[in-house]
Amino acid sequence: MADQANCIFCKIVAGTIPSYKLYEDAMTLAFLDINPGNPGHALVIPKAHAANLYASADKDLAAVMATVRKVAAAVEKTVSPDGLNLLQANGPGAAQSVFHFHMHILPRRNGDELKMNWGLKPGDKGELAALAVKIRANL
List active site positions. Answer: 102
Residue 53 burial (CB count, 10 A):
14
Q: In this structure, are residues 79 and 42 in contact, taking their beta carbons and an 8 Å threshold?
A: no
β-bridge mates for residue 42, sequence order:
32, 105
SS3 28: strand
d(CA 104, CA 31): 10
